[in-house]
Amino acid sequence: MTKRRFDCDHCGRVFTERIGGIKYRHRISQPAKEQVLSHLVDRSFRAATKQTGIGYHSSRRYLTEKVTPFIWDWSEELTNNEDISLGMDEISFSGHDMIRVLTNVSGKKLKTILPDDTRLTLWRAVKWIPPNIYSRIKEVAIDLSRENRLCVKKYFPQAKVVADRFHVLQYAKWQINEERTALAAQIGRGYKLPKGLFEINREDLTNLEHLKLKAWFSSFPSLRVYWQAKETLRDMYRQRNKAKAAKILDGLIARMAESHDRDLKKWGRTLARWYEPILNFFDKRTTNGFTEGVNTKLKLVKRISYGFRNREVFIRKAML
């Protein structure tokens, strides 16, 4: 669209006509920018350029104007007085270079994505939380990360630490797999212990799978102990009463402590260290499932765009 130029009859100055919807010295309207960004939601910058004809640098500029990920938006939470449960987790940006994701799991909202997983960056982000919101944060759901637990205790001292149910059970499956791998190495090549069979839940086993499992357990009794420990944890999470869940967990930790298996003892010590956060789940049955869903979306954004070199661009694109 060509803008017209005019001479002022009174002062003689030349001026350019203004077009509604387009800012001064801009060449694109706000609705057009929104349309460009809508194409970036589910495709790469290159694919969006082919669709819209707008280059990478212009699209990136519109993205920077639209998304401000490092300033928390609490507008929805300010409309009510409900308690807030946060979710905290990390995802790889590149290799072991991690970024931290923070969500409101009770309200199912992504709050921010921090550019790294350092305590300093988290502290700077926490300072932006309004006092009336901060005081309402009663729980923070995390994985079994010592660093995350220390961060919660330091920056959210008023909140309970909740060990995410999924990660507790995932750690149990990992322990079974470690024992299975160690036994397979002792046996030698040509004798394979099936991984998937030991991960099936007890109630989901078919008659044939149940018979196979009994056969493996008769040959490898230690695998039975690990598998039963995993199922005991699942039984614990099915309880509706915190006291009953605590009784089951106490019994499991005691049996692990009495075991002669070094790795089983170590697993028991881990459960003992995380005893209170594990049982805190039963107060409100808070999980980090929403945060895990956000992490899945972030991985999809990376895959669609064939990776990112600039983490700020990645974070802004993920928060569109």
Domain of 129, CATH number, reads 3.30.420.10
Closest by CA position to 213, among listed 223, 203, 171, 169? 223
Whether 125 maps to a domain, the answer reads: yes
Based on the domain organization, do 271 and 242 belong to the same domain? yes
Residues 142 and 208 in one domain: no
Q: Are 210 and 257 within one domain?
A: yes
72 found inside a domain: no
**Statement to judge: residues 86 and 130 lie in one domain:** yes
123 in a structural domain: yes
User: Is 175 among the domain residues?
Assistant: yes
Last residue of one domain, picked from the residues 66, 88, 114: 66
Query: What pairs with residue 44 in β-bridges?
Result: none
Domain boundary at 37, 66, 95, which? 66
Residue 68 confidence (pLDDT): 81
Q: Contact 248/275 with Cβ under 8 angstroms?
A: no
Amino acid making up residue 256: M
Count of domains forming the chain: 3
Candidates 157, 115, 86, 29; CA nearest to 311 is 115
Task: Answer yes or no: are the C-beta atoms of 91 and 99 closer than 8 Å.
Answer: yes
- How far apart, in whole angstroms, are the C-alpha atoms of residue 282 and residue 285? 5
282 close to 3: Cβ distance less than 8 angstroms:
no
User: Which residues are CB-neighbours of 151 under 8 A, at least 6 positions away?
Assistant: 88, 119, 122
Same domain for 137 and 81: yes
* Residue 179 confidence (pLDDT): 93
280 shares its domain with 195: yes
| Blockwise average pLDDT, block size 10, the chain, 320 residues | 78 78 74 85 88 89 83 86 94 90 93 91 90 94 94 94 96 95 80 87 93 92 94 96 96 96 96 97 95 92 86 88
> Containing domain of residue 245, as a range?
166-284
What pTM, to 2 d.p., does this model score?
0.84
Give SS3 for 85: strand
Residue 61 located in a structural domain = yes
Lookup result for tokens 């699942």:
234
- Percentage helix, strand, coil, to 5, in the chain? 55, 15, 30
The answer as to whether 243 is a domain residue is yes
Q: pLDDT tens across 134-171, in order?
A: 999 999 999 999 999 999 999 999 999 999 999 999 99
Same domain, 57 and 93: no
Q: Are both 152 and 300 inside the same structural domain?
A: yes
pLDDT at 91: 92
- Structural domain contains residue 35: yes
Could you tell me the end-to-end alpha-carbon distance of the chain, in angstroms, rounded to an integer?
28
199/276 same-domain check: yes
Shared domain check, 236 and 183: yes
Asked if 229 and 92 sit in the same domain, the reply is: no
Domain end call among 36, 66, 96: 66
Neighbours of 156 (CB within 10 A): 20
Is residue 205 in a domain?
A: yes
- The pLDDT > 70 percentage for the chain reads 98
Is residue 63 within 8 Å of 313, Cβ to Cβ? yes
Same domain for 45 and 59?
yes
**Count of alpha carbons within 13 Å of 122, Cβ hemisphere only?**
20
Q: What is the pLDDT of residue 272?
A: 97
